[in-house]
Structure 1
Amino acid sequence: MIIPIATLLITPAAGDMLVTDFSNQHQLRWQIVNDTVMGGRSSASFVEENNEAIFRGNLSLENYGGFASIRAAIKPINKAASKVAITVKGDGRDYQLRLYSRLYSGQVSYRHMFTTTEEYQTIMLPMDAFIATYRGRLLTELDPIAWQQVIGVGFMLADKKPGDFALTIKDIRFMP
């Protein structure tokens, strides 16, 4: 299910907390986690260049696969945040932004779906609209993630459409 979101271009404000803008390579240590951990055949790469990052690969449904993802640990957020802003361009596919909580040692992720276009867009995702998941299953009994709990961010493609994909990420920000 895709949750409708507002898409608009924004100018960074003084109260924003920049997670990364890829202007300094290796600000974060990104890890690729694909369905190969359970026998799937999807592949992915992650490259930082020219003040952006490109997450690309091939999504395969073979061997009960069907997801490709990247994730990184982040420093604790030290300002109140009510939304996450991401500036991305893609291939028209539906991706997930994932937040990881310190309460669950990174095992539970909170996801928010977004649809990409072939043009850069800044997408605002309200933190209270992220949905708790564990290995693809919804965890409806958990409270929404609070900004103080966030220890990691990630992107995932799991749209059940095999084939090549590419998501370019310009920046990730937490906003008041």
Structure 2
Amino acid sequence: MFSFLRRTASVAADSTAKALRMDGLQGWQRELPMLSLKTKEDLDSWAIGSDKDIGGFSEAALDITTENVGRFHGNLSMDLPANPEIQQSGYAAIRSKARASSMFGTPCWDTSLFRYLALRVRGDERKYFVNIQTDGVIQTDLYQHRLFLRTPGQWETVMIPFRDFILTNNGMIQEQQIEMFREKVKTVGISLTDKKNGPFSLEIETISAVNTEFTEGDMDRLE
């Protein structure tokens, strides 16, 4: 209870400071840093999962390399667990943990003034997905998009337009597509479900919401 009240006081103080700085009147911004994976302390902000959680045989890990970047890696196995109710297996995922709530709710990122989600990554030739969870009514809803790597084995910045993410629920694309609540992005994650046995490795340095010099959210800059 004490930590909840302390978080509430911290959020109130932060909101007051933003109001005094008139953050909402600052206008165009190039970047909103969201997540980084550079230190062992950063690992505490992430959760890891795989089909091993339901009796499967995939292995997944997240650690910091000697180059001080995060590495999501392991081995995907399509082998089914003994439970006859499980009809398919073979997945691994990481996601940022939702930040601790207060009386003002769960802290979220307001990405509404940015056009792209930018990920600084270096990966292999596996087919990864990027997952966004918003602070919406249905907690199992995820907005997903392929993480297209143009140069596997080399560092690159992948920029995905927020409006290109597709609404899914439990892995199924939803017939009724609802626009992402971009003012309340709660978590960001990466998953692997490409139905291929074998090792995988994806290094992640940073995740941000960004504009280019020609964009201001979904509007084009006229300068």
Please give the TM-score of this superposition, normalised by the length of structure 1. 0.84
Number of equivalenced pairs: 164
5+ residue gaps, structure 1? 1-12
- The CA distance in 1 between the partners of 2:41 and 2:179, in whole Å, is 30
Distance 2:182 2:148 in 1: 23
Q: 2:37 aligns with which of 14, 22, 47?
A: 22
1:52 and 2:80 are equivalent in the alignment:
no
Alignment check: 8 A CA contact 1:71 1:153 kept: yes
State whether structure 2 residue 29 is matched by structure 1 residue 36: no
Which of 160-169 and 50-59 deviates more? 50-59
- Please list every run of at least 4 consecutive aligned residues from structure 1 whose deviation after the TM superposition is greater than 3 angstroms: none
- Counterpart in the other structure of 1:134: 169
In structure 2, C-alpha distance between the alignment counterparts of 1:149 and 1:140, rounded to whole Å: 22
Query: 98, 121, 130: which one pairs with 1:88?
Result: 121
Aligned-residue offset at 1:42: 1.1
2:154 to 119, 127, 136: 119
Offset from partner CA, 1:105-127 (integer Å, 9 cap, x none) = 54211111023311011111011
Question: Which letter does structure 1 place at the counterpart of 2:68?
Answer: N
**What do the CA deviations read for 1:17-40 (whole angstroms, capped 9, x no partner)?**
111233454346111121233332
Aligned to 1:154, the other structure's residue is in SS state strand
- SS at structure 2 position matched to 1:115: coil
CA deviation profile, 1:7-62 (whole Å, cap 9, x unmatched) = xxxxxx95311112334543461111212333322110000344310000011111
C-alpha deviation, 1:139, in angstroms: 1.2
**Is the CA contact 2:110–2:184 (under 8 Å) kept in the aligned structure 1?**
no
Name the one with the larger helix percent: 2
Q: Please report the RMSD computed on the Cα atoms of aligned residues, expressed in angstroms.
A: 2.0
User: Which of 1 and 2 has greater Rg?
Assistant: 2
Contact 2:148–2:158, Cα closer than 8 Å, also in 1: no
Q: Is 1:145 matched with 2:180?
A: yes
Q: Is contact 2:132–2:188 with CA below 8 Å preserved after alignment?
A: yes
Q: Is the 8 A contact 1:21 1:51 kept in 2?
A: no
Counterparts of 1:143 and 1:157, CA distance in 2 = 24
1:76 aligns with 2:84: no
Letter in 2 for 1:165: F
Higher relative contact order (CA 8 A, sep 6+): 1
